[in-house]
Chain A
Amino acid sequence: AQSVAQPEDQVNVAEGNPLTVKCTYSVSGNPYLFWYVQYPNRGLQFLLKYITGDNLVKGSYGFEAEFNKSQTSFHLKKPSALVSDSALYFCAVLTNAGKSTFGDGTTLTVKP
């Protein structure tokens, strides 16, 4: 069965510092991986995806993610965090028929 794990429930960083939100996956075959962000009382919004190609994927709002096949990881990164980046972040892996399996989410808090 395909699965996604986000090992940290909470990540705290200071504004201006780099941030990393971790994600590991387990799939058979080549993975299709996504990151989404959820602000309070809103639906999830797409940030970026990895299908194939370059291991460093750039997405919305200055976020990027690094795909590492040997470590089965797809960590979300940003060089300089903003207070407005504070939100709930979900990693997801695409399974058959377009169904996505989501991690349990990581709450990112950026403090001024």
Chain B
Amino acid sequence: NAGVTQTPKFRILKIGQSMTLQCTQDMNHNYMYWYRQDPGMGLKLIYYSVGAGITDKGEVPNGYNVSRSTTEDFPLRLELAAPSQTSVYFCASSYTPNSPLHFGNGTRLTVT
């Protein structure tokens, strides 16, 4: 049972490049989330999804996009990378809206 799997673990991007952070879960959870974690700060919600085909913005969605074509996968897209997007990105999922979150191990992204 892998839980929540994120790839890649690390990535360095140049300003203006684009990339997709992958997230997949094998727990059949409907609810999935993308957070970013900056040093000394808590996690900020970027986007979330309550089921396949349904996504919505979180607290800091600018510069990102998501899709949810299957229950298992919830990729996060950065179209035009900026230094302000340097962060650690975590994908999480939950069984119900009130259930604890299950987190992946994160993707450390640096934009230079």
Contact = CB atoms under 8 A, between A and B. Distances in A.
B42 A103 contact: yes
B40 interface: yes
B34 to A, nearest CB: 11
B31 A98 contact: yes
B58 A34 contact: no
Contact of B96 (A42, A43, A98): A98
Contacts of A4: 42
Chain B CB within 10 Å, residue with most, of A4, A41, A98, A102:
A98
Q: How large is the interface on B (under 10, 10 to 19, 20 to 34, 35 or more residues)?
A: 20 to 34
B98 A43 contact: no
A110 to B, nearest CB: 21
Interface string B17-42: 00000000000000101000000111
Contacts of B41: 104-105
A72 interface: no
A97 B50 contact: yes
A91 to B, nearest CB: 9
B52 to A, nearest CB: 16
B35 to A, nearest CB: 8
Interface stretch (A11-19, A45-53, A63-71): A45-53
Interface of B: 4, 31, 33, 40-43, 45, 48, 50, 56, 58, 90, 92, 94, 96-98, 100-106
5 contacts: A43-B90, A43-B92, A44-B92, A44-B103, A98-B94
A-B pairs, top 4 by smallest CB distance, nearest first, are A98-B97, A43-B103, A102-B42, A46-B100
